[in-house]
Amino acid sequence: MRVHSNISIEQNVRVFAEQIRTKWNMSNSCKNDVLVFVAIAFDKVIISMGSAAKKIISNKELDELIHEATKQLASESLHTSLEGIIQILQQKANFYKPVPIGFDLNLGIFSLTLIGFVLAITIVALLWCFIERNRKKSDRRKTAQISAEKTTEYELVSDKDQN
């Protein structure tokens, strides 16, 4: 690891962990990746996470986890420290319900709402057309009935005139 003198050791370790995660292409494959990097020479623990993994654990929880891991690293074995970190991350991951990649829940709700709205408008339009058609048929019948009555009256008047 090449240490840059103008930034702190912790920042150097963090940059190195991010570079390893990027080089291993973990962040581009699924974005659920977590890299726990321990710099024993510097007594530093860095947890580098992909964007989807950052939804599982907050920055505050991550800072607390790193702080506890660093304390354990100083007082206990490396194995115990790493085991504790992994257990906590697994517990957090068990509560996480992933959404398929490329499917945003808000987009899904919006799509379903839009489809429902379009269906409702279609049903209302069809009902309106049906009612309007029946009204026009009814008007035609009334007009035909009135015409028939007038024709009958006209014939009666014509018959009277002829007599």
CATH of the domain at 30: 3.10.310.50
In a domain, 163, yes or no: yes
Average pLDDT of the chain to the nearest whole number: 76
The Cα–Cα gap between 42 and 10 comes to: 8
Domains of the chain: total: 2
Token code pair at residue 149: 């009555």
Break the chain down into helix, strand, coil percent, rounded to 5. Answer: 70, 5, 20
Q: Is the pLDDT assigned to residue 25 strictly greater than 80?
A: no
> Of 72, 25, 69, nearest to 46 (Cα)?
69
The Cα–Cα gap between 81 and 73 comes to: 6
Q: Give CA separation, 28 vs 2, 140, 161, in Å.
A: 24, 70, 100
pTM summary value:
0.49
Residue 35 near residue 47, CB atoms below 8 Å? yes
| Shared domain check, 56 and 129 | no
| Cβ count near 56 (within 10 Å) | 18
Model pLDDT, residue 157: 55
Model pLDDT, residue 124: 94
In a domain, 68, yes or no: yes
Least confident residue range of 36-40, 57-61, 123-127, 159-163: 159-163
In a domain, 46, yes or no: yes
Q: What is the DSSP letter of 31?
A: S
pLDDT digits (tens, 9 = 90+) for 36-88: 888 877 778 888 887 777 777 888 888 888 888 888 877 777 788 888 888 88
Does residue 96 or residue 92 have the better pLDDT? 92
- The region, left, alpha or beta by phi > 0 then psi within -120 to 50, assigned to residue 69 is alpha
Model pLDDT, residue 87: 85
Domain span at 13: 9-94
The Cα–Cα gap between 84 and 77 comes to: 11
Question: Hey, is 45 helix, strand or coil?
Answer: strand
In a domain, 19, yes or no: yes
Highest mean pLDDT among 8-12, 73-77, 125-129: 125-129
The CA angle 145-149-150, to the nearest 5 degrees, is 115
| Shared domain check, 63 and 126 | no
Grade residue 2 by pLDDT with cuts at 50, 70 and 90: low
| Shared domain check, 112 and 64 | no
Grade residue 128 by pLDDT with cuts at 50, 70 and 90: very high
Grade residue 120 by pLDDT with cuts at 50, 70 and 90: very high
